[in-house]
Amino acid sequence: MTAKTNQKGYAVSFVALFVLVLMLTIALSVGSLNLYRQKAATTSIMATQSYYAAEAGIEDALLRLKENPQMPAASYSLTAGNASTNVNIPAILAGSRAITSQGIFITALRSERAGCK
């Protein structure tokens, strides 16, 4: 009878070990998935911030040109929240200008262009 008792103990130990390995695998999978999603969300936020910084630079340039349509070419930097933007207003060429604005937030970089007459 002692042989049967030892075999039952072995089976319980094996099942417990199998369940432990399975739970560890699931926990690691969920953890890595959460880490990946957090990284993707952070990247998305940075891209959005740099986009809006670039748009703010375009809007600022358009307001400056509205006040002074004949203003000379200019390049300047702005701070928009925690992001910054570099704006370039070129000289008038063929009656229009192509304004460029480059928004920068941490490591995300976004460039926008706008034309005006």
Predicted confidence (pLDDT) per residue in 83-113, tens digit: 999 999 998 888 888 999 999 998 888 888 8
Which pLDDT does position 26 carry in this prediction? 96
Residue with tokens 């400056």: 64
Q: What is the pTM of this model?
A: 0.71
Name the residue with higher pLDDT: 113 or 6: 113
Alpha helix positions (H), the chain: 2-67
For the chain, the average pLDDT equals 88
Name the residue with higher pLDDT: 106 or 1: 106
Question: Rounded distance, CA 115 to CA 87, Å?
Answer: 13
Please state the rounded mean pLDDT for residues 29-49. 94
Question: Rounded distance, CA 54 to CA 44, Å?
Answer: 15
Backbone angles phi, psi at 56, to 5 degrees: -65, -40
